Structure 1
Amino acid sequence: MEGKNETHPGFTLVGFSDLPELRIPLFSIFMTAYIICIIGNFSISMLIISQPQLHTPMYVLMGNLAFVDIFFTSITIPRALYGLISGDTYISFHGCILQLFFFLIVGNMDSFLLALMAFDRYAAVCHPLRYLTIMSPKTCIYLVASSWVILILHSILYTIVNSTQAHCKWVLHHFFCDCPVVLSLSCTVAPDLQIGMLFESAIIILGPVFFILVSYILIIRAVLKLHSSKGNWQTFSTCSSHLTMVIIFYSTLIFMYSRPNTVYSPAYDRMVSIVFCLFIPMLNPFIYSLRNEQVKSAVKRVLLQASS
């Protein structure tokens, strides 16, 4: 598998094959978490679709996030589960590139949706009288559709770059085809190309972060202007579930991609990636339901209707 090869024979996807004694326990844990993730996010999506009182911009974006999380986990986890149960470490070159393409789109869409939800909270807290005008259904559709277009173009660019590189190594010490890992197997990457990719990815990654930070700075400023401490808490509590998701998502993202190469560790990468790709999407529906009164009320209504 070593040495320059232009015929693209495929990759060895190490996954967790170097931990044979843990394959069955890991399979059981990941399968259980994956099932919970799918059921939880699907339930949130169906709840928002079926309950007219949740047909507001915030919950439409929340439903989109749950829908995206289903696909996000399904891009990486089933192949990891297959590798754990079968011991098969082979993935074709085109299969790897296809996984990379969809992972880049859906993974970054999580970030864009969190930014749009931050803007929604800004509009609700800072401009309550104009909220429905600012966040009209047409605006929501335009913002979500624009995000998809931007990320598809971004993913096409990175997929072309990775698929046209000459690879000198074919062993991926990971459980899925992540962009930095695949690119690290290339024989050489032109400095100009590296700079261009770094600049473009910085916009895609840091753009939503900047958007979220500005939105919350404006929200906090508006909340502090309220004279009632009870009013302060009630206003800011509407942002609590979203803020929790943002903190968990970006803290894991920073651990994954913002560290020096000197502390690179395949084992570390795999475990943090499992948190990012599986456990965060699994936790999101519980964060929505436990920290959001309207969602909890909608769940109670559905349960009462089902029992009557």
Structure 2
Amino acid sequence: MEDNTTTVTEFVLVGLSRQPHVRMALFMLFLAMYAITVAGNGLIVVLTVVDSHLHTPMYFFLSNLSFIDVCYVTTSVPQMLVHCFKDKAIIPLGRCFAQMSISLFLGVAECLLLAIMAYDRFVAICSPLHYTLIMNRKLCIVLAVSLWFSSFLLTIVPFFSMPARLCGQNVVNHFVCEVQAVLKLACSDTHANGLSMLITSVFTLLFPFAFILLTYGRIGLAVLRIRSAQGRGKALSTCGSHLVVVGIFYGTALAAYLKPQAKTFTNRDKIVAVFYVVVTPMLNPLIYSLRNRDVKGAFWRLIGRKVDE
């Protein structure tokens, strides 16, 4: 018996709205958010590289986070902006799979990096006298290399070993190529894929999130023992800001990847995706660094240097 199914060579992305005026409003919003994200995170990377005052473990990991965020939004947002002008947003199969694999890789890298950053803050606050001894240059490099290598093993290798076969349907109810949305179009059994993604999500989302909560709990207890009200307030403010970002990123990612999977991808799922695709990368530099006195000082030193030249 002949197989009359058609092999998929491209996908049609539904997007967030079919209304032209709504798409134009979304274009302006996402363009502004993308510009803020790239400018803020790019500035942190530049300042960390050129200013010796920021050559510390904390800013080393922050610059890695900023680099991840710039790459992460660049894999999705420019395409989203272009598709705002199209009634039928089409993306070739190869580009779609590239977007999915790169986004997964960077997303997992950010999850693991946030856990490493929480450990860095734990050592700084709970063992300040031994901080430079523990968080030495060699350990920072080992952690960074392990972060990127682990992210590769946890995402790229399983992704390309997925046995899903796509045929016939090619309309994806999303604004980007999201793994879960694309897999719903598979004409082969995807139970193994779903189980693999669930196991990976536990290791890359649940475990790091639990580690971060435990770490910040220990930090909170240590902060409460600080006698100086000013020092206690500064530490609590920093930890609170970090937890806001962690809560938004992990909360939306956990809601997307650890919930029972439905047969269809809903508009609510797309709204949740907006937060971890666009919102969190924009908030990271604003909350983590740009309000920081050290970063402000590095910025003005860089501006003064340029003026003098």
Q: Tell me if TM exceeds 0.5.
A: yes
Q: Is the CA contact (8 Å cut-off) linking 1:12 and 1:171 kept in structure 2?
A: yes
Deviations 1:7-41 (A, max 9, x none): 33221112246222322222222122212221111
Aligned to 2:222: 222
Deviations 1:210-256 (A, max 9, x none): 22122112212222333444443244344344233212322332444
Q: For structure 1, list consecutive stretches of 5 or more residues without a partner in the other structure.
A: none
Which region of structure 1 is more displaced relative to structure 2, 196-205 or 212-221? 196-205
Which region of structure 1 is more displaced relative to structure 2, 97-106 or 138-147? 138-147
Write the distance in 2 (CA, Å) between the matches of 1:164 and 1:267: 24
Write the distance in 1 (CA, Å) between the matches of 2:273 and 2:77: 11
**Letter of the aligned partner of 2:207 in structure 1?**
G
Aligned to 2:173: 173
**Letter of the aligned partner of 1:79 in structure 2?**
Q
- Alpha-carbon spacing, 1:164–1:259, altered in 2? closer, same or farther (3 Å): closer
Q: Is the CA contact (8 Å cut-off) linking 1:72 and 1:277 kept in structure 2?
A: yes
Write the distance in 2 (CA, Å) between the matches of 1:190 and 1:81: 31
Which region of structure 1 is more displaced relative to structure 2, 27-36 or 37-46? 27-36
Write the distance in 2 (CA, Å) between the matches of 1:51 and 1:160: 40
Q: For structure 2, list consecutive stretches of 5 or more residues without a partner in the other structure.
A: none
Alignment of 1:49-198 (within 5 A): 49-162=49-162, 164-167=164-167, 169-189=169-189, 191-198=191-198
Aligned to 1:14: 14
Q: Which has the larger share of helix?
A: 1
Which region of structure 1 is more displaced relative to structure 2, 76-85 or 292-301? 292-301
Tell me the CA shift for residue 202 of structure 1: 1.1
Tell me the CA shift for residue 179 of structure 1: 1.4
**Letter of the aligned partner of 2:295 in structure 1?**
V
Pair 1:302 & 2:308 matched: no
Write the distance in 2 (CA, Å) between the matches of 1:215 and 1:138: 22
Q: Is the CA contact (8 Å cut-off) linking 2:223 and 2:235 kept in structure 1?
A: yes
Paired residues, number? 306
Equivalent residue of 2:76, what SS? helix
Q: Is the CA contact (8 Å cut-off) linking 1:97 and 1:163 kept in structure 2?
A: no
Deviations 1:170-209 (A, max 9, x none): 2101111111111122224354553343223211211211
Which region of structure 1 is more displaced relative to structure 2, 5-14 or 278-287? 5-14
CA RMSD of aligned residues (A): 2.6
- Aligned residues with identical type, % of pairs: 36
